[in-house]
Chains A and B, each alone.
Chain A
């Protein structure tokens, strides 16, 4: 459905996207996962024909995006990262404006937005600028859908939104996927990877890995130890100083400790920590998650760039 072929884009000296190729299949919920500055927005803006790639090509539903931008724009629904509806138009006015721009009407595709829109319909006379964050997000999604797009493009829809609204939002995307819409969505939140069929982990304009979230973890996940002790800061600095340590990072309540291969086991970890006067020591084997993998791939990628 979507295909990026060797796409690059730079802004002056800044290489935002370097030689990226990937595909999104029909009816897929595809995630672009990476921090600010990874190139997510640039990729999506090129996809919806708002930016031109410097090199490479992008196709959507068989059309070259650059040559057929008018057609492409009617095929995609785009929800940009910043709230970009008309703040001084009402909820209803925004929706009918977006419908009319595409030569459609609210009535024509109401069924598609109904589950989302009916939650904000009681506030349809309210100005968009006066809505809460969660409601703005629902309105923006309704506006992106009202012309019945084939592909839905969402740029960080859950940034700045609370946990409950985030959860509901991903449920809505699941339903839209079931309705046959292909979705490409970007997010800086690693935990949202699990809600996607496939994800691309991106960093500094490059794809680190692309696969189903499960396979990414299976392929790249490395064993680590979950470590806890009373003095958390001392625990980090002591473990950083240990010759057996490959890496150590805080992950919520625990530190994730990776040891150099062929090195120490649990007894040696505990002995080392006891020697350094730690109390209430916990050490158990941990299961890697997508964020562990992201960190490993980032580190490898940095090394490669330094060598190259």
Chain B
């Protein structure tokens, strides 16, 4: 981690859908280069909050800035300065690796020289020059994930949002993926991870746990385990989330 600047500042974020309060006065900051875990059960309000931080949805109230841009007025600037990757969708399966890269470079209006430089970087990083002309759909899941992460960084964003990034792959591939995340973080890129897999949470610098639209806990994994007398983040999560589950049914 380098520096101590805040790249995400959230004060009293509220988002309502009709009478339903999806995000209930969320307040937190994320620092430059931090790996920040955003956890919660299904329906706890993670996706709603993340969509707001990505500039895709407007909050009902609250003060929120991302990369210094205001979410109400500067959502286009936010979209240009963040990266996004999801397990469910990131790349076009029926285009080649090179075509996907060119497509995303185009979306972010990268100049040709920069795009070529990025392509070369990626070829080196993935140690597999021959994959450039393969269809993404034909690659193993682990490759897709590494590729999707690399492409999410193609425009040098300050923050990258990862939505349940590492499900389903073998334990070695998964660790290669976390190594890429640590590398990005060491280079000053902030990594915002939403997941409901608690073992992913243990890789984060700090973790928030959302329950019923509110932040119930925010701390380092080690500190959370100590606070709740738990041996794993899974136990911390079960302790916190169980209270809510009764109400939801």
Contact = CB atoms under 8 A, between A and B. Distances in A.
Nearest to A232: B182
B75 interface: no
B101 interface: no
Interface string A280-308: 00000000000100110011000000000
Contact of B238 (A163, A203, A298): A163
A218 interface: no
A13 B42 CA distance: 39
Given A250-B175, A291-B171, 18 more contacts: A34-B170, A35-B171, A36-B169, A37-B140, A37-B141, A132-B43, A162-B41, A162-B196, A163-B197, A163-B198, A164-B237, A164-B238, A165-B41, A233-B183, A249-B175, A250-B179, A253-B203, A294-B171
Interface string A131-154: 011100000000000000000000
A62 interface: no
18 contacts: A35-B169, A36-B169, A122-B249, A162-B241, A163-B241, A164-B237, A188-B168, A190-B171, A191-B199, A191-B234, A203-B170, A233-B185, A233-B186, A250-B179, A252-B203, A252-B233, A291-B171, A299-B172
Contacts of A234: 186
Contacts of A163: 41, 196-198, 234, 237-238, 241
A232 B186 contact: yes
Nearest to B182: A233
Interface in B141-181: 141, 167-173, 175, 178-179
A132 B169 CA distance: 25
Given A36-B141, A164-B242, A132 B171 contact: no
A298 B241 CA distance: 35
Contacts of A132: 42-43
Q: Which 9 A-B pairs have the closest CB atoms?
A: A252-B202, A35-B170, A233-B186, A233-B182, A36-B168, A162-B41, A162-B196, A249-B175, A162-B42
Contacts of B242: 164
Contacts of A203: 170
Interface of A: 34-38, 122, 132-134, 159-165, 167, 188-191, 203, 231-234, 236, 249-253, 291, 294-295, 298-299
B249 A253 contact: no
Nearest to B178: A250
Contact of A298 (B171, B185, B196): B171
Contacts of B40: 162
Contacts of B186: 231-234
A133 B140 CA distance: 27
Given A132-B43, A164-B245, A236 B167 contact: no
Interface size range on B against A: 35 or more
Contacts of A38: 170
Nearest to A234: B186
B42 A159 contact: no
Interface in B102-121: none
Contact of A252 (B170, B171, B221, B245): B221
B168 A35 contact: yes
Contacts of B198: 163
B95 interface: no
Contact of B42 (A37, A133, A232): A133
Nearest to B169: A35
Nearest to B244: A164
B42 A236 contact: no
A38 B41 CA distance: 28
Contacts of A167: 238
B222 interface: yes
B143 to A, nearest CB: 12
A169 to B, nearest CB: 13
